[in-house]
Amino acid sequence: MRGLRADFQPGIVRFQTGNQGCCNRGGADRGCGRRGQTAEAVIVLKEGETIAPADGKLVVLDFNATWCGPCKQFAPHFDAVAKANTDKAVFYSVDVDVHPELASKYAVESIPMVVYIKPDG
């Protein structure tokens, strides 16, 4: 994937696709969405919900937004990986408009962005 960048911090590995398409935070292209389209293996984090402890498993967060075209294109790939790895990791879909505090905590600058939280971190 062109433009893929990895940033490493203790316990956290972040991957983001960079500035591709409309999806810098606050982009104007509306009309795509992910709600209701995720696999059962992906937990869609709703308003007021938090990320639950994963009992020694890797936690994988997909930061996205309903208006983001590249997020909609990435969603089926994220879902397929989640289905294939439910025994190894817990997968979350996090809408940056619903959870701006999580987007800020993990320094989300563009979407889609995937964050891996190691079990010990």
Give the residue numbers annotated as catalytic, written as ranges: 68, 71
Scored b (16 or more CB within 10 A) or e, 17-26 reads beebbbbebe
Q: Which residues pair with 114 in a beta bridge?
A: 15, 62
Kindly give, in sequence order, each residue whose CB lies less than 8 Å from that of residue 87, ignoring residues fewer than 6 positions away. none
